[in-house]
Each structure stands twice: as C-alpha cells, then as structure tokens.
Structure 1
Amino acid sequence: MTDDETPELPRGIALAWGVAANPQRGPKREMSVEKIVEAAVALADAEGISAVSMAAVAAKLGFTPMSLYRYVSAKDDLLLLMQEEATGLPPEAFRDHDGWRAKLRALFEAQTLIFLQHPWILSLPITGSPITPNSSAWMDAGLEALSGTPLNERERMAAALAVSGHARWYGMVLSGYAEQSRLTGLTAEQVSAREAALFDRVITEEEFPHLRHAIDAGIFTAEDDPFRFALERTLDGLESYIAALDRGETHEVETAWLPEEHAEVASDKRVREAAKAVRAAEKALRDARKHERQVRKEARERSVRRN
C-alpha cells in the first residue's frame, strides 16, 4: 500500500460503524447483525466466552450457522462486535463531576463495572486499538476529561490509557474473586482469607523475606483497596506534573516505544531456548539455596540440642 492509499476497513470494523454491505441472501427479516451480537453477548454472559461459537449462536437464534456467516463472516468479527456491544458508551454523568481528576475517576469506575458485568471481555486478545464507535467514545471521554489541562495531546492520551489500564487490571482481579465465590460458595472476604491461608503455608521468610513480612502484616486480608490506592497515586503524579507545567517547568520524559528489534530478538527460537535454560538454572540455584538454608537450620537445631 502506498502512502496516498486509504486502507480498506476490515469487515468487523465496518460492521461496527454500520458501513458494511448487507448480505444479498438470507433470512433478512428474522436475522440481523444486531440480533446475532445480542445473542452472542447473552451467551457469553451466561456461560462464558468459551461457549460462544457460530454454531451455538445460530442454535440460540434458531438458524443454521451458514445463515450467520452471511451477516458475520468470521468469528473474530463477532468477538469484536460483542466487545463493542458489551462496552457500550461512557456514561454522560462523568461530565457532572468537577475537575479532570474526578472525571477520570468516574470513567475508571464505569469501566470497572463493565468488566464486572461482562468479565469475558478481559479474556479477549488485544491485537491493537479497537477502532470502533463505542471504544472511540471512551477514548474521547478520557481526552475530554483532560481537555482543560496544559497537557499536550500525547500526554492526555497517555494519561487516559493509564486510567483504562488500572480499570482493566482492577476488573480482572474483582471478576476473578467473583468467579471464585461462584465456584466455592464463599463470600469475597472468605475467598481472600482462603488465599491468605494458602500463601501463609508456602511463603517462608528465608526464601521470600519481603512477601513474608507483608503476609504477617495482614496485607491479603486488609480492608484497604490496593487498586484504588494505585489509581490515586497515579492521579497524584499526574496532578503534580500538571502543576509543574502551570509553573512553566518542563520535564524530560522517555516517550519512545521499545525498539522493534527487541521483539524480533525475543521471538528468535535460539533466544527463547537460551532464556529457558537461564530460567531453569535460576530455579536450580533457588532450590539449592533453599536446601542450604534448611541444612543450616537443622545444623543449628542439632547444636542447640547438644548444648
């Protein structure tokens, strides 16, 4: 493709924007892209993303899989449209908050709620920016929240993406706890207590001194929300950066992406094999040190008994 050529929209994205060609054949009155996507989302909400297939969605609608392919020609397109439908539009109410910080916090909470309502979204692979209407609206909302700040456009996008990243990670953890509660019948607090007890059994001070100290301090059963703490500290840093810009100060910030050759090197088969050997050697070293600590402990105990 030359620089002056405009790339053609992939069919999934074209469907999301409503600019894809309609099928020439098929049960037009009873079937539509919207109905297919709604059925697929309902199936994923009820049974998980693994239950979603073209055949399963067709059966839910009472049609053959071939009927679906006339409207949505690939499962990847269906997954894109499902994510678009489940994500929806950002809430208008975020604009009611005063200041960029409160607006970003409101968007963070709204995104987290979406992940809790549709946790299967978190299992979808990220293959790039989702160039769809609803996803674009969320990005636009984040930029709008920061529109009155001295940040430039790149900095606003980076800040909005950071908040979205916090929401995604928060949603992963909360939905994981919800799934454990569903499977075990335990409350979220009981799941946390069970997790803490398991950590307590396997984490020793000799091998993981800092993690052991955190466990002894009750970190896994504390009522504090570490994810909101992390979000607020991120916003603190952004607020400090904005204040510095208001004072006329400038900051040198590393903005370059990782060099492409890093990805190429990392994907080289020989590099992967060498890295695997390093991990095996590191594990053997940890095991040896653990054995040494155990032997020393036993030796000290024997010495105490003799004396």
Structure 2
Amino acid sequence: MSVNTHFGKAPQMPEDVEEALPRAVALSWGVAEHPQRGPKRELSIERIVDTAIEVADTDGLGAVSMSRIATELGFTTMSLYRYVTSKDDVLALMQDAVCTIRIPPDDELAARGGSARNAGEETADWRAGLRRWAMASIEVIQEHPWFPDIPISGIPLMPNNLAVLDWGLREMRDLPLTDAEKMSTALLLSSYARAIAVVERDVSRSQSADAPATHGEAFTAALSELVTPERFPDLAPLVASGAYADSDGADEQDDFAFGLERILDGIETYLAGRRSGEPVTAFEERPEAVPRDKAVREAAKARREAESKLREARKNEREAIARARERAAREAERESR
C-alpha cells in the first residue's frame, strides 16, 4: 500500500501554516520542510510508513518501533529521524495512510438517485450512501486490525481522513440538516461502526486463541447456573435458550446491520420533522450520573457473597443426591442378588 499524500513535494505556503500544524499533519499535507537528508536517497517517508504498516499488519501495533522499521528497511534507526521526528509521527501517518479507501465519485451518487440535487431536491437514497460510508470504517479495521488501537487525538486533520469525512458529508448534502447536525450524524455513524468493528475483532481473536469455548450445550448449562431468573429475570431465558452466547451466529442476525438500520430510522424520523416544519428536539441534556454510594456497594457485595453460598449449597445438594442415588442403586443390586 502506498501513502496517498504529498510527501516530498511541498507546495509554497506561508511559514505560519507549517508552524500552526502538528509535525505529522504537516508531513501528510506535504507542507513540512524536510530535514536535511542523508546520502541514501532511496529512503523516504512513504517507505517508512509503508514498512510500519506491514509490521503492524503482521505482528500488531506493539511491534512497531523505530528500530524495527529501520531493521526492515536496512537502515540505521537514526536515518529515520531525517524524515520523521518521532514514532508518534509514524503512527499518525500510518492511520491516515490506511484510509486511502475507494470513495464513490459524484456521478456514482447521481446514478443512485442524487441527480436532482441541482434543483434543490433531496437525494433519493441517502440511506444507502450513509450505509456504505459506515461500512467503510469496518472494512478498514478488518484489513488493519491495529487501526483503532491508535488513540484518537482530536478532530481529523490529515488529507485521507478528511476525504472520508467529506464523502460522508456529501451523502448528507441535500438533507435538511444544519452543519452541526451533519457533523453529529457523521460522529454517530462512525463511532457506531468503529465500536462494532472493535467488538468483532476482539471476539474473532478470542475464538482463534486457546481459550475455553463460550458456546455449546455444556457452556450454556454452566452459564445457566450463574444467570438465574431470580437475579436476571429477562436475561436468564436468553441464556437458557443459547441465544446469549450464540458466537456461531446461529440466529443469522447481522448485529451491525440491525443497529445501523435503527440509527438510520431515527435520522429519517428526525428529517421528517424537519420537512414538516414541526418543532423537533435537537438534543436533551445528558442524564445525571448515578451517585456512587458506599451502602450500595456494600449491599451488592453482600448479595454476591450470598449468591456464592447459594451456588455452593446447590452444588452440595446435587452431590448429596447423586451419592444417595448411588447407595440406593447398590442396595437394590444387593437385594436383587
């Protein structure tokens, strides 16, 4: 994969532009002045970033270091610092580089139903566009599982990230939303897709590792002993049926698709209120946090201890019943003789 940015050929810009940007951002836009390069011209920012991505794809993000990258390239570690100032710069450039996804051109959007935008009419199939946009986030993480392990340090500033955001805003271009509402919608969809992708990644990793199976009849029976109707009245039936630990996807429901459609339903309802001119609630204040109370924690601890004793008592009861049945069977066998 090559980095779709302008490393190496910086356009002429005022010095204050470069100074106002973080180093990695300036490098991604090609507006940073490169430090003096060494004699080996074949080394470049593109090669450094591409190599770092290959290391992360193979061995995980934790394996990425300046020394590892230098070794893979056949250079000294100090050689890399002629191009980037720190590992953090490399990580930021990696994150932007893998966002070189295919963005549908405008004519593709028009073919899907948005050709009437010049007349001020709403795009016919905005849901399809946002659905595809949200799925792109999952695809990036599927291809590069380390991607969400790099912390979000602020708003998108690099060209590829901004191109993806621009695509999402284009899908909302004709919707009756304010600029702030469009940004909130983009955040909602991208956050949801990112969260689901991380869950899917982690579940996949746990299933491929040497970990106890979290499905099957034996597991369901064991879990049912803990998740009792008394404590979990609504969850217990799902556990008993096997639906809760359905890691094999036997229910054939795509959790991501289901949740995404419900989010889009909500957006559509909000848009309907906008079109009708009726007052709509843009937002409400966040609910107050549940107070942390020592008495509540102590009561919860006491409940857990009581439940543990109850489970132990039930176990002893089952063992006693089993022993009694064995004795009865032996006595019956002696009498039959």
User: 1:229 is matched with which residue: 230, 243, 258?
Assistant: 258
Q: Percent identity, aligned pairs only?
A: 35
Structure-1 residue corresponding to 2:61: 49
SS at match of 1:209: coil
Structure-2 residue corresponding to 1:180: 206
SS at match of 2:167: helix
Q: Which amino acid aligns with 1:220?
A: A
Shift of 1:286: 3.2
1:162 and 2:188 matched:
yes
Shift of 1:134: 0.9
Say which structure is richer in helix: 1
Distance 1:46 1:279 in 2: 47
Structure-2 residue corresponding to 1:121: 147
- 1:203/1:212 contact within 8 Å kept: yes
1:66 and 2:78 matched:
yes
Shift of 1:209: 2.9
Structure-1 residue corresponding to 2:329: none
User: Cα gap change, 1:296/1:121 in structure 2, threshold over 3 Å: closer, same or farther?
Assistant: same
User: Cα gap change, 1:62/1:229 in structure 2, threshold over 3 Å: closer, same or farther?
Assistant: same
- 1:177/1:191 contact within 8 Å kept: no
Residues 8-34 of structure 1, C-alpha deviation per residue, up to 9 Å, x if partnerless?
A: 101011111111111213245111111
Residues 76-109 of structure 1, C-alpha deviation per residue, up to 9 Å, x if partnerless?
A: 1111000011122452167354411100001112
Shift of 1:257: 8.5
User: Cα gap change, 1:30/1:185 in structure 2, threshold over 3 Å: closer, same or farther?
Assistant: farther
Q: Which amino acid aligns with 2:234?
A: H
- Gaps in structure 2 of 5+ consecutive residues: 1-15, 114-124, 321-337
- 1:87/1:114 contact within 8 Å kept: yes
User: Cα gap change, 1:284/1:181 in structure 2, threshold over 3 Å: closer, same or farther?
Assistant: closer
Shift of 1:214: 2.3
- 1:12/1:81 contact within 8 Å kept: yes
Q: Which amino acid aligns with 1:214?
A: L
Q: Which amino acid aligns with 1:66?
A: M
- 1:13/1:132 contact within 8 Å kept: yes
User: 1:281 is matched with which residue: 265, 288, 298?
Assistant: 298
Distance 2:231 2:57 in 1: 41
- 2:45/2:83 contact within 8 Å kept: yes
User: Cα gap change, 1:48/1:295 in structure 2, threshold over 3 Å: closer, same or farther?
Assistant: closer
Structure-1 residue corresponding to 2:44: 32
* Structure with bigger gyration radius: 2
Aligned residues: 283
Give 1:81-230 correspondences, 5 Å limit. 81-92=93-104, 95=109, 97-98=112-113, 99-184=125-210, 197=220, 199-200=223-224, 202-217=226-241, 218-221=243-246, 222-230=251-259
Distance 2:217 2:188 in 1: 31
SS at match of 2:235: helix
Distance 1:56 1:255 in 2: 49
Q: Which amino acid aligns with 2:86?
A: A
Structure-2 residue corresponding to 1:252: 281
SS at match of 2:206: helix
Q: Which amino acid aligns with 2:229?
A: E
Structure-2 residue corresponding to 1:79: 91
Distance 1:83 1:278 in 2: 46
User: Cα gap change, 1:52/1:101 in structure 2, threshold over 3 Å: closer, same or farther?
Assistant: same
- 1:39/1:57 contact within 8 Å kept: yes
TM-score, length-scaled by structure 2:
0.72
Distance 2:218 2:50 in 1: 36
SS at match of 1:21: coil
TM-score, length-scaled by structure 1:
0.79
Q: Which amino acid aligns with 2:173?
A: S
